[in-house]
Chain A
Amino acid sequence: MRKNIKLILVVPLIVVATGCASLGVEPWERDLLARDEMSLNSTPIDSSLDDHIYFSKEASSGGKGFGGGGCGCN
């Protein structure tokens, strides 16, 4: 017998909060959000290399994370 159901796997049990019904997803809707490429800093190595370049070439730094000091390049 064929089955035709769809399954979505989700991360650990989450307390269902009230309010804000229009924003956010239920735990089982996190299939796409759980992917690496959907994390806010998906390529930390690239970010730290870029931060170093732009920190030493431009007057602004940080914003996403700590801008900090860290090198004598500026």
Chain B
Amino acid sequence: MNTGRSIQLVKNKDSYGITFTAMASPCEVIIQTSDKQLATTLGNTLATEVWRIEDKYSRYNQHSICSAINNNATKPVTIDEETYLLLNFAEQCYQLSDGLFDISSGVLRKVWSFHGNKSRYDDFPIEEQVNDALACVGWQKIHFDQKQITLAKGMEIDFGGIGKEYAVDRAIILAKQLTDSPVLVNLGGDLAVTCARGNNEPWQVAIEHPDNTDNNHTDMIISLNSGALATSGDARRFLIHEGKRYSHILNAKTGWPINEAPRSITVVAPQCIQAGILATLALLQGAHAEQFLEQQDIKFWARR
């Protein structure tokens, strides 16, 4: 997957912007400095790290560790420490969500296809299909330790729900090692900053309404002095069946879409992966999403 990978450097008035594509998203790194050499070094280092994580954990890449695990269900697959730490994190999210968040729930996509209004009537699955797919879901059926992982037959895992946020956090760690200048890392909307901008001014992040295709319309501005921000949910991915709108958020326990979930939730947290998980866990609460976050005293923005 190394073809077509490149970085663009753009000089802004008081900063450099480095843009690249990774994980099927537009990515950018902004560093508030006038040192072009530093900006270039930083951009290269961070993009390389993001691409490394993409190559290692993408389920679309046949050479990734993710594919190796999925293609060898029932057999033990050797893993390294980083993979172990990610699996361990996924397990804790599974426990914390009481099974609602499950990185093995990806096989449900085989029966659910969410393409907004284009979904045809006959795409809507029948209960039997859902139950068949659900048989291959269940984190509790996966066994792993520091050295290896073994999936049950027909199972697959998918790091899609945490990979991008993890890459943001890794990039921020590397950025802090390289420089004291303020840096922002934005991987397709999941982002984090190393510190406030010069003169302690916050980074201003504008979030466009997901429904809005007019590029000039933005209706949410978030000032970020430190930490990270992640968004879950996608208004363009849903399906309508018999007049009812089904979100693409699936309950890993039932195999059916979550009802009355907000269309998207944006959460602020010290680390991007925390923000991402909190946003996702909130969506899984359906109608109680906002209540869930409020009870946890978490700063968030929800769209319904």
Q: Scoring A residues 32 to 57 as 1 if CB is less than 8 Å from chain B, else 0, what string do you get?
A: 00111001000000000000000000
Q: Is B204 engaged at the interface, CB distance under 8 Å to the other chain?
A: yes
Indicate which residue in B189, B201, B202, B280 contacts A6 across the interface (CB closer than 8 Å): B189
**B3 located at the interface, meaning its Cβ lies under 8 Å from any Cβ of chain A in the complex:** no
Residues in A neighbouring B266, C-beta threshold 8 A: 5
> When the two chains form their complex, are residues A3 and B160 in contact, meaning their CB atoms are under 8 A apart?
no
Chain B count of residues within 8 A CB distance of the other chain? 45
Task: Say how far A1's CB is from chain B's closest CB, in angstroms.
Answer: 5
24 A-B pairs with CB atoms under 8 Å apart are: A1-B280, A1-B283, A3-B231, A4-B237, A5-B210, A6-B189, A6-B215, A7-B189, A8-B206, A8-B218, A9-B28, A9-B30, A9-B205, A9-B206, A10-B206, A11-B14, A13-B204, A13-B223, A26-B218, A34-B12, A34-B13, A35-B10, A35-B11, A36-B12
Note all chain A residues with C-beta closer than 8 A to B57.
none
A2 near B: Cβ within 8 Å?
yes
Binding site for B on A (CB under 8 A): 1-13, 26-29, 34-36, 39
Complex CA gap A5/B216 in Å reads: 13
- Within 8 Å by CB of B202, from A3, A8, A13, A29, lies A13
Chain B: residues with CB nearer than 8 A to chain A? 10-14, 28, 30, 160-161, 184, 186, 188-191, 197, 199, 201-208, 210, 215-216, 218, 221, 223, 230-237, 248-249, 264, 266, 280, 283
Q: Do B13 and A7 touch across chains, with their CB atoms under 8 A apart? A: no
Assess the A9–B221 pair: CB atoms within 8 A: no
List of A residues within 8 angstroms of B199 by Cβ: 12
A1/B248 in contact, CB under 8 A: yes
Q: Which residue of A lies closest to B188 (CB)?
A: A3
Q: Which residue of A lies closest to B187 (CB)?
A: A3
Query: CA–CA, A28 to B230, complex, Å?
Result: 18
Contact B204 A10 (CB under 8 A): yes
Q: Which residues of B contact A13 (CB under 8 A)?
A: 201-202, 204, 223
Of A4, A13, A29, most B-chain CB atoms within 10 Å? A4
B204 and A4: CB pair below 8 A?
A: no
In angstroms, Cα B10 to Cα A35, docked, is 7
Contact yes or no, A28 B189, CB < 8 A? no
